[in-house]
Structure 1
Amino acid sequence: MNVHFKPIDVAKVAEGIESWVKIESPTSSREAVNQMIDQAQSEFDGVPVALERIPGRDGYGDCLFARTEGEGKRILVLSHLDTVHPIGTAAGPLPIRREGDKMFGPGIYDMKGGAYLAMDAFRRVVSAGSHKLPITFLFTPDEEVGSPSSRAIIEAEAQNAAFAIVTEPTWHNYVVTGRKGIGRFDINATGVPAHAGANHEKGRSAINEIAHQILAIAAMTDYARGITTNVGMISGGTASNVIPRDAHISIDVRVLNPESAEEVKEKLLSLKPHDPDVKLDITGKFTRPPYVKSEGTEAFLQHTRKLAAEIGFELPEAPQDGGGSDANFTAALGVPTLDSLGIDGDGAHTHFEHGLLSCLEPRLRLFQRLMETLQ
């Protein structure tokens, strides 16, 4: 019997997801994330896969691989186990509970629900030996902060991937086939301090300089081309009666394609001081490359839609998403990639974050069918 015909105990699946959600794992706590990695590792007891755990670095948690036997190109499944919610959220503003079709809890939607569903499908398929391609499942610890410690690991594994499945959450069954690239830049301005009353003319205000730069950066936004810039943080000065020597801004950039990324990066790094007596120190880069839909991803999408139709639901295609994920890395390397195949629900990163009980069986079956049929 093919594994996709075997019954699924939805109640047991829901309990499994909630057991993961109970292990609160904010990115900033290496110990907490590694407790979640421990739990994921234990889920493979008795399953015929090879496990490899890579110690974390720079204060982040570990990465965990689960691999089937087999040579050649592989299916790569990516799930992150870190969340944005601080420890104590489940005991406070977002208790783990069910209300009708909704399952609430910190990280249940982004993305422990999808990670668990894919893991459960992987176990079922591997135990039945019903996959055609070898499969690698990679759990990561730091996606919520841009994957600084896991990016190189993801990209190295993607070199041998025929397909990438990313288990970020969906909404109304949308599947993501493209995401904007994300850049992070900082500007520090250094002026000349002076007493604002006695020696105003001798000062050179770093804050005034930064104000000019903010307007220049805002002017780089081009909605028609999908380019946005946002100065999201600003700081500077020491007192209202001192011409400020120092000021700082942090900038978020989103772009649709690699060409725009290079263009905006060059513009930002080439900014010149409005006041020649003020020094600018500009740093930054694109932390996630644009995820641009390829012909391979289109073929992957059509295959996945056929499987979803067999199960009994549709997969509408989302417009290119403004948020980033680890799919950006695999797609940029030319791997056919589908994202947001995880749990349906709403409220990522909020105190009403929830997944839908009604989606658990069809989404798990979709993961199973993908792992069985991709070749």
Structure 2
Amino acid sequence: MCTTASARPRRCPDVAGIDVDRFRAAFPALTADIERLVTCESPSADRAAVARSAEVVAAMGTAHLGAAPEEIVLDGRTHLRWRLGDGPRRVLLLAHHDTVWPLGSLDTHPFAVRDGVLRGPGCFDMKSGLAMAFHALAALSYVDGVTLLVTGDEELGAPSSRELIESEAAGCAAALVLEASADGGALKTERKGISRYDVLLHGRAAHAGLEPERGVNASMEAAHQIHAVAALADPAAGTTVTPTLLSAGTTTNTVPAAGRFAVDVRVRDVAEQARVDAAIRELRPVLEGAGVEVEGGPNRPPMPAASSAALFRRAGQLADRLGIGPLTSAAVGGASDGNFAAGVGTPTLDGLGAVGGGAHADDEHVLVDELPGRTALVAALIEDFLPVRKDAQ
């Protein structure tokens, strides 16, 4: 756990020798590291693949940082933690090395860099950001008090790593998240919270042609419940409640005895998350003889704009001095591990990774010309929260 530290930057308002040209000179090494990460496939649900990826990440980080990480295996999922220096924990860098892409994706989406665009499964979300973290840290002469946490289950909602993230974030002056940028390179200054549910419908089977009246139709009960759930959305508050995956029944000539549907909830504040949660848990069957059961609940708390406001202002100042400003910001519906850091009260800035697009899609890509400047910005932000060494004064 981090010890309590001031949220105010401790350095004078320059960039202490950091410049974009330095990272431009290191560009071939950065792209080589990105290629190494991308070509080690790591789908979140495949624990063995994630473990193999962790070996590659650990070796790369050890080479850059001069220290091996702690390997933390939770529920069979491999996470890596570098705690640099012996001083109080001040800055947490968050990254993940798992992706949504299944094994074999490289056969159809090979790694390539052409015409200023880098492609490959997971390059944008978020293996480029992970490589950037290593290069930013390696460029700093003093990193005492920095923790780099690389999780292996972010794309699943961090089922095993949530408590680890919250523990590492608590009390830090800043959490910097190397997730990919929003459109046009915007930093992510607000993220919605997520809740996920499975609504199970219980009915009674009967022959659909001979005696359907003897059954209790789980499909019809699902229709009633889907309407009730969808009505919980509040567009004015930014709350979306979306029934998604649906299934019911076993054969075409049988009244369905069981069914289920999934629900995706996105909210801007915890009050809305609590309201929707309470309402979903109060669902009651409409058809006589039917049953309704609810599984799941809140998955990630919201990352409100207030948690990133001061950090975004400081990032803008640093970007201007580096010659890569002005920065833009965006509120997004997707969540990240940064939601957990913000949820424990740690100032959090997200979307500091690669600029590009197509996350989780066939056109996933990174704009290579943006990599040096973004990496320099990450290095400057890290340094900004570290105390000046006594021997450097």
The reply to whether TM is greater than 0.5 is yes
SS of 2:335 mapped into structure 1:
coil
- 1:290 matches 2:302: yes
Quick one: which amino acid aligns to residue 54 of structure 1? Answer: I
Please state how far the C-alpha of 1:157 moved relative to its aligned partner: 0.9
Contact 1:175–1:317 (Cα < 8 Å) also in 2: yes
Please state how far the C-alpha of 1:3 moved relative to its aligned partner: 5.4
Question: In 2, distance between residues paired with 1:68 and 1:104?
Answer: 32
Alignment match, 2:291: 279
- 1:38 matches 2:55: yes
Please state how far the C-alpha of 1:197 moved relative to its aligned partner: 2.3
Q: What is the correspondence of 1:302-341 to structure 2 with a 5 Å cutoff?
A: 302-313=313-324, 314-318=326-330, 320-341=331-352
- 1:245 matches 2:263: no
5+ residue gaps, structure 1: none
Alignment match, 1:97: 112
- 1:348 matches 2:359: yes
1:88-141 superposed Cα distances (whole Å, 9 cap, x missing partner): 11122x11112211001010000000111011111221xx12x4x610000100
Contact 2:188–2:332 (Cα < 8 Å) also in 1: yes
Contact 1:50–1:67 (Cα < 8 Å) also in 2: no
Question: In 1, distance between residues paired with 2:308 and 2:207?
Answer: 61
- Please give the TM-score of this superposition, normalised by the length of structure 2: 0.89
Quick one: which amino acid aligns to residue 55 of structure 1? Answer: V
- 1:108 matches 2:123: yes
Q: Aligned residues: percent identity? A: 35
Alignment match, 1:4: 18
Question: In 2, distance between residues paired with 1:67 and 1:284?
Answer: 33
Question: In 1, distance between residues paired with 2:66 and 2:29?
Answer: 22
Q: Cα RMSD (Å) of the superposition? A: 1.7
Question: In 1, distance between residues paired with 2:137 and 2:229?
Answer: 46
Alignment match, 2:310: 299
1:12-66 superposed Cα distances (whole Å, 9 cap, x missing partner): 2112211111111111222221222112211223734463111231x42x11111
After TM superposition, the runs of 4+ consecutive aligned structure 1 residues lying more than 3 A away are: 45-50
SS of 1:355 mapped into structure 2:
strand
- 1:29 matches 2:40: no
- 1:365 matches 2:376: yes
Higher mean alpha-carbon deviation, 185-194 vs 100-109, is at 185-194
Question: In 2, distance between residues paired with 1:270 and 1:101?
Answer: 53
SS of 1:138 mapped into structure 2:
strand
- 1:72 matches 2:72: no
Please state how far the C-alpha of 1:233 moved relative to its aligned partner: 0.7
- 1:122 matches 2:137: yes
SS of 2:93 mapped into structure 1:
strand
Contact 2:64–2:135 (Cα < 8 Å) also in 1: no
Contact 2:173–2:385 (Cα < 8 Å) also in 1: no
Alignment match, 1:258: 270
Question: In 1, distance between residues paired with 2:47 and 2:203?
Answer: 39
Question: In 1, distance between residues paired with 2:138 and 2:48?
Answer: 26
Question: In 2, distance between residues paired with 1:288 and 1:272?
Answer: 26
Contact 1:72–1:160 (Cα < 8 Å) also in 2: no
Please state how far the C-alpha of 1:300 moved relative to its aligned partner: 1.2
SS of 2:209 mapped into structure 1:
coil
Contact 1:180–1:323 (Cα < 8 Å) also in 2: yes
Change (3 A) 1:47 1:194: closer
Question: In 2, distance between residues paired with 1:293 and 1:177?
Answer: 6
Change (3 A) 1:18 1:46: closer
Contact 2:65–2:134 (Cα < 8 Å) also in 1: no
Question: In 2, distance between residues paired with 1:201 and 1:311?
Answer: 73
Quick one: which amino acid aligns to residue 316 of structure 2? Answer: R
Change (3 A) 1:46 1:195: closer
Question: In 1, distance between residues paired with 2:132 and 2:281?
Answer: 43
- Please give the TM-score of this superposition, normalised by the length of structure 1: 0.94
Change (3 A) 1:311 1:95: same
Question: In 2, distance between residues paired with 1:201 and 1:54?
Answer: 56
5+ residue gaps, structure 2: 1-14, 387-393
Question: In 2, distance between residues paired with 1:122 and 1:29?
Answer: 29
Alignment match, 2:103: 87
Quick one: which amino acid aligns to residue 114 of structure 2? Answer: E
Quick one: which amino acid aligns to residue 91 of structure 1? Answer: D
Contact 1:290–1:328 (Cα < 8 Å) also in 2: yes
